[in-house]
C-alpha cells in the first residue's frame, strides 16, 4: 500500500453529518481533536452549511474580505475538496507506484495542496453568535478575530500525536512546541482567556496595550511572534471603509478607560470557551 493510500485511510472514518469527507485531514481532526470537533458541532447546531460550490463560495474564493457578511448571513462555510487530486493519483498507481512510496515525493506533493480555512471561519461564525449582544464596532470585529485565532492555536495546543499535528497543517497555520503545550494548560479556561486578550492587545494600537504581565506572558509572546496584527488592522479598516463606516465614527467599546469594556469582552470569551468544553 502506498503512502497516499495510507494517509487517506487514516483520514477516513464512518460517515458522519459533521465530517467533510473530501477535506484532507478533516475526518481525523473531528475524531481526535476536541476543539476542532466542538467548533464544528456548534456551527452545525447553528445551521451553518459547509459548501464547496455556489455563489457565496465563489465570492469568498475571489475576495474573502468582500464575502465576510455573506458568510454569516447565508450561514455558509466554504471549503476545498482537496482530497480529490490525491484520490486521482491512486488511479495512476501502476505507473507511479515507486514515486508514491517516497516520503520526499509525498512531501513535495502535499506542499502544493490548497489548505482549508474551515476551522478559522467556523470559529468566526461561533464568535459572531457569542458576541451578538455587542454593538458592531471595530473593537468587536478585532475581538472576534482574536477568538478565531485563539481557537486555531488552542487546537494546536491540544494535539496529542505527530499524526494529529500533521493533519492540522492542512487546516490551520498555527503550530506549537511540546514546551508550549506543557506551559499552557488547554483544559484551563483562564489560559484560553489570556490568549484571547493577548491576541486582542496585539490587534489594538500598541499604546493601548495595558494588560499586566503574567507567568504565561513569555510563552504567549513567543507563540504569537509570527502573528501579523498590522495585516488584520488593515483588513478591518478596509472592511469598515467598504461598508461606508470609519473607525473614528464608531461609538461603543472603544473608550479611554476600557476596564468595564474588557469585563464585557471577558464574559463573551467565557461563553465562547463553554462551547469548547461542553
Q: How far apart, in Å, are the Cα atoms of 149 and each of 2, 7, 75, 203?
A: 35, 27, 20, 11
Q: Look at residue 106 and tell me if it is in a domain.
A: no
Please tell me the distance from the alpha carbon of residue 34 to that of residue 26, in angstroms, as a whole number: 12
Q: Look at residue 52 and tell me if it is in a domain.
A: no
Q: Which of the given ranges, 5-9, 100-104, 188-192, has the highest pLDDT on average?
A: 188-192
Contact 77, 118 (CB under 8 A): yes
- Structurally, the chain folds into a number of domains equal to 1
What mean pLDDT do residues 100-116 have?
82
Residue 17 CB neighbour total at 10 angstroms: 6
Q: Look at residue 251 and tell me if it is in a domain.
A: yes
If one compares 29 and 86, the residue with the highest pLDDT of the two is 29
Residue 37 C-alpha cell reads as 470537533
Q: How far apart, in Å, are the Cα atoms of 78 and each of 51, 60, 71, 152, 156?
A: 5, 7, 8, 17, 22
- Taking only the tens place, the pLDDT of each residue in 23-37 is 999 999 999 999 999
Contact 44, 156 (CB under 8 A): no
Q: Look at residue 73 and tell me if it is in a domain.
A: no
Q: Look at residue 86 and tell me if it is in a domain.
A: no
Residues 6 or more apart whose CB falls under 8 angstroms from that of 80 comprise 23, 52, 114, 115, 116
Please tell me the distance from the alpha carbon of residue 82 to that of residue 91, in angstroms, as a whole number: 16
Residue 46 C-alpha cell reads as 447553528
Q: Look at residue 241 and tell me if it is in a domain.
A: yes
Residue 91 C-alpha cell reads as 488511479
Q: What is the pLDDT of residue 210?
A: 54
| DSSP at 232 | H
DSSP, collapsed to helix, strand or coil, labels residue 49 as strand
What mean pLDDT do residues 111-132 have?
94
- Taking only the tens place, the pLDDT of each residue in 190-211 is 999 999 999 998 888 654 555 6
Please tell me the distance from the alpha carbon of residue 262 to that of residue 201, in angstroms, as a whole number: 11
Please tell me the distance from the alpha carbon of residue 145 to that of residue 227, in angstroms, as a whole number: 12
Please tell me the distance from the alpha carbon of residue 220 to that of residue 214, in angstroms, as a whole number: 10
Contact 177, 156 (CB under 8 A): no
For the ranges 81-85, 90-94, 218-222, the lowest mean pLDDT is seen at: 90-94
Share of the chain above pLDDT 90, in %: 53
If one compares 33 and 223, the residue with the highest pLDDT of the two is 33
Contact 77, 71 (CB under 8 A): yes
Q: Which domain holds residue 120?
A: 116-277
DSSP, collapsed to helix, strand or coil, labels residue 258 as coil
Q: Look at residue 77 and tell me if it is in a domain.
A: no
Q: Look at residue 242 and tell me if it is in a domain.
A: yes
Please tell me the distance from the alpha carbon of residue 71 to that of residue 135, in angstroms, as a whole number: 19
**Locus of grid cell 447565508:** 74
Amino acid at each position: 500500500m502506498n503512502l497516499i493510500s495510507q494517509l487517506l485511510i487514516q483520514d477516513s472514518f464512518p460517515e458522519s453529518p459533521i465530517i467533510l469527507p473530501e477535506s484532507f485531514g478533516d475526518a481525523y481532526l473531528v475524531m481526535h481533536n476536541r476543539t476542532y470537533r466542538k467548533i464544528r458541532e456548534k456551527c452545525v447546531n447553528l445551521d451553518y452549511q459547509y459548501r464547496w460550490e455556489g455563489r457565496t463560495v465563489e465570492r469568498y474564493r475571489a475576495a474573502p474580505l468582500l464575502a465576510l457578511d455573506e458568510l454569516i448571513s447565508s450561514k455558509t462555510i466554504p471549503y476545498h475538496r482537496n482530497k480529490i487530486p490525491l484520490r486521482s493519483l491512486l488511479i495512476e498507481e501502476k505507473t507511479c507506484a515507486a514515486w508514491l512510496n517516497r516520503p520526499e515525493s509525498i512531501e513535495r506533493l502535499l506542499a502544493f495542496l490548497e489548505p482549508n480555512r474551515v476551522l478559522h471561519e467556523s470559529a468566526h461564525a461561533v464568535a459572531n453568535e457569542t458576541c451578538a449582544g455587542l454593538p458592531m464596532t471595530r473593537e468587536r470585529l478585532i475581538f472576534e478575530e482574536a477568538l478565531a485565532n485563539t481557537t486555531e492555536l488552542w487546537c494546536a495546543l491540544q494535539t496529542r500525536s505527530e499524526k494529529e499535528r500533521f493533519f492540522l497543517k492542512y487546516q490551520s497555520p498555527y503550530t506549537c512546541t511540546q514546551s508550549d503545550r506543557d506551559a499552557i494548560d488547554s483544559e484551563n479556561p483562564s489560559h484560553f482567556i489570556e490568549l484571547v486578550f493577548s491576541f486582542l492587545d496585539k490587534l489594538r494600537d500598541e499604546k493601548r496595550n495595558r494588560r499586566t504581565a503574567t507567568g504565561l506572558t513569555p510563552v504567549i509572546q513567543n507563540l504569537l511572534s509570527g502573528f501579523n496584527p498590522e495585516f488584520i488592522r488593515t483588513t478591518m479598516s478596509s472592511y469598515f471603509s467598504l461598508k461606508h463606516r470609519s473607525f473614528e465614527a464608531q461609538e461603543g467599546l472603544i473608550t479611554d478607560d476600557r476596564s468595564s469594556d474588557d469585563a464585557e469582552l471577558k464574559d463573551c470569551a467565557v461563553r465562547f470557551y463553554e462551547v469548547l468544553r461542553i
